[in-house]
Structure 1
């Protein structure tokens, strides 16, 4: 159906319900003569008289009554659905999917999302941990979270956390059996708790830097996990050295459950950023997520 035909039917419904060309014209914001012409053209196209006009009143013919009963409720349904969408604009709803690394999900994303979901019960949040730099468009994510240095240039990136350091730490019981490493190269002689990358199947390489010098060490060890929480627990159990974000083990170090080594080889890292495509029209729910995780430090 042509768009102008739809407008003609809307004009007919207005006249049929108002029983007046004058009131219908005022409702539609058109002149009475233009409205009268529209109805005449509609009747000519259908080959049926829809309205009976007198100088004092407008009434429906049998065909006009039948047409109003059939199409009137359909247009009412369309208007109701559009009104429902307008309500959603004021009441954000929907699902927001985010790919993140585990540390950022636990330390930043979930604390912010827990409060947001409490305030907006119609918003759903899905957080998937993935250590690879995911193609969020191809994988149908709304956004991703990675370190600032890992975000593609064609993405909008927003900082959601401060810079942080990695920490190499082990339990006192481990150092009763092994001398602490003095340089990153010494780690090759130690039992290290390794992180298996879930997507690629490889092991995370430990990165260090000092006075402009950068080192990457492929450590060895018997204990292998794919979660930060299990790596921390293995370190507490004396299984070896763990390489973890400093906030994960900060309390353990301050209370003596873990001992910190190679601190001078662990410079600050750029904080986590939320990133998403630059050509997206954000939904109200996504806009709230962005605001909830924005770093304000």
Structure 2
């Protein structure tokens, strides 16, 4: 398109919705690096569109980014099959306004992104677009190449699957901060008894080193085992609170250098999941806040 005014409209629409498009891609992929690749592909396709014939720029862009992300999602699945140790989503530093949007914060939490990993690619797309972004069934059908009736069935199935794996009780932001503060103090002091008091009996610790840095190659299960591992950290790392993926989390440093990001899953008054991302390739965005939007 050679018309300068037309180019401005194309660019303005993309820039206006860029944070939304990134959020959609990130929720579908759990990888900021892959989400950025999807945005580049989306821009290239959008730049060739006759925007004057597009009534709803937002909907059209979401359809493009979804189509591109779906292809990446299938390829990412193959990469995960050869991944060394547990695979965890790429953590993002987020601003307070993400936490204020409870539904958005829930949808990008480390715990939820791991639940979404258990869906098929199409189920994940349908669930995210419908439940998080409120996209109409007809528009989702266009994006995934299915009929609206099939998309409705897929949404019902995905919704039931996700509901079965969510925490049984809702936890407020204040309760999450309280659990994190208690956990941080227990780890920093090496207080085994206190740790055992806040960890669920069947708590699971996942550590993602990606074969690049040292990390457990299998989940560590049970309060006793997890507490013993954590108690060894108090003399080697310093912990600082941060807002990660819309929720309170901890950044661990060794010698002042970023070592890992630790996110918690809280159910009731106990910690049921711990997710430690150590793979340096997944920590590259922890030096800046990432804007997420619905």
With normalisation by structure 2, the TM-score equals 0.20
More strand by share: 1
More helix by share: 2
With normalisation by structure 1, the TM-score equals 0.20
